[in-house]
Amino acid sequence: MPPGPRLAVIVDTFPRWSERFIARELCELLRRGIDLTVFALKAGELLDKNDPDWLGLSERTVVLPYCITPRLALGRKSKLAARLDAVRAALDASTFSRLNCLPSLVKLLQQGRFTHVHAHFAGLPSTLGWLAAEELKLAFTLSVHARDVFVEPQLLREKIASAQRVFCCHAVACEHLKTLATEPRKVVLMHHGLPLERFPLTLRPTRRRGPLKLIAAGRFVKKKGYRELLELLPPCTAPAPYIFLLCGEGPEQRAIETVIKARKLQPVIKVSPPLSADELLEAFRDADVLVTPFQEAADGDFDGIPNTILEAFATGLSVAGTQTGGMRELLPHRGAIAAPDIRSLAMGISELITNKGSHLVNILAARQLIESEFDLRNVIKPLVREIQT
């Protein structure tokens, strides 16, 4: 019997708490018996070393060398050398310099007898994976998301032409990539999935005493819209009509804290560092509504389908959010609020605060949606087929 496939997965920073969907996908591939190694451009850190989403992955991760190691010599007739010339013309000098680890990656893939290369994101990881797969004549697939498609893509037409399949986690990216492909059939919608056994449904009382409990979790960046929402939320009164737990970190944190102080919202809004998987699940169980005030940033960046919304729907937590980017696929008819913009969202949240029972909207329908369209064991099947072919 011939040996099974050996999969090389190319990523940027690994592990990274905001990219939990990658870890869950890899764990599911391992559960199916696929032998894989993760090649990361940079080593990351976990919030919790025992995080279940990353169990078994650290010993399968190789951090690629950067400029510290010498480049391997490439012969003048090497296809990789010729292709690098074309890539050099398309990328700026700083980005191109990060390809120094490419010859090392080629050597590692060759020595490890890998049969398939899969890369996450349309930027540098997939550029490396594409070039290495072309040099070694290996099967190549890639997964794309949001910012990497619309703000920081690299040579997407060429990658789509070389790839067996390109997987998009939401319909907006999927439709865009089909316009770039000479063979649109290569572009496949493959949502991020959840290991549903870890996200049981929690039924909540129709009304709760005390303040409405809001929660948000994500990176503090412009596209999340947290600062803009805080500028519009109701003022703090006694007794407090709501409390808002805002979990995350990022470049917008100082601006967020400035708004909280200026509007004297400290009694009702708490800013917390990112929570571990177990901590976030516990916080979801205690909350009434997940708030997702996402928007399109000035540079064109927007969210696809954040895992936090999937987790909220799976556990019976209502969602109040804007219908930006990939969230148009989820929020209509299933969220407590599906607003066109942040100002409308703030008005809707004010109404929820007044009527604390109205947030319990379509919880069972939302759970049914997750079970039918976002079960990890089902959504990952298109990728598994490509790896095993």
Q: Say if 107 falls within a structural domain.
A: yes
Query: Do 227 and 175 sit in the same domain of this protein?
Result: no
Residue ranges making up the domain that contains 74 = 6-193+375-388
Residue 227 to residues 103, 207, 353: CA-CA distances in angstroms? 44, 29, 19
Query: Do 352 and 282 sit in the same domain of this protein?
Result: yes
pLDDT the model gives residue 69: 36
Q: Say if 238 falls within a structural domain.
A: yes
pLDDT in tens, the chain (389 residues): 467 899 999 999 999 888 999 999 999 999 999 999 999 999 998 877 788 889 899 999 999 986 333 344 455 556 667 777 778 878 887 778 778 888 889 999 999 999 999 999 999 999 999 999 999 999 999 999 888 888 888 889 999 999 999 999 999 899 999 999 999 999 999 999 999 999 999 887 666 678 889 999 999 999 999 999 999 998 888 788 899 999 999 999 999 999 999 999 999 999 999 998 889 999 999 998 999 999 988 888 888 888 999 999 999 998 999 988 877 887 765 667 888 999 999 999 998 888 755 666 678 888 888 999 999 999 999 999 999 98
Query: Do 180 and 36 sit in the same domain of this protein?
Result: yes
206 contacts: CB under 8 Å, gap ≥ 6:
357, 360
Query: Do 159 and 248 sit in the same domain of this protein?
Result: no
Query: Do 187 and 242 sit in the same domain of this protein?
Result: no
Phi, psi of 112 (to 5 degrees): -85, 0
Task: Tell me how many domains the chain contains.
Answer: 2
Q: Say if 1 falls within a structural domain.
A: no
The helix/strand/coil state of 107 is helix
pLDDT the model gives residue 70: 38
Query: Do 99 and 214 sit in the same domain of this protein?
Result: no
Euclidean distance between CA atoms 149 and 38, whole angstroms: 22
Which of these, 309, 60, 101, 341, lies nearest to 199 by C-alpha position? 309
CATH number at residue 294: 3.40.50.2000
Euclidean distance between CA atoms 257 and 271, whole angstroms: 8
Q: Which amino acid is at 249?
A: E
Residue 83 to residues 35, 155, 387: CA-CA distances in angstroms? 29, 12, 25
Query: Do 218 and 341 sit in the same domain of this protein?
Result: yes
Query: Do 225 and 298 sit in the same domain of this protein?
Result: yes
Query: Do 151 and 241 sit in the same domain of this protein?
Result: no
Query: Do 112 and 226 sit in the same domain of this protein?
Result: no
Burial class (CB in 10 A: 0-12, 13-18, 19+), 162: middle
The pTM of this model reads 0.89
Q: Say if 83 falls within a structural domain.
A: yes
Query: Do 114 and 95 sit in the same domain of this protein?
Result: yes
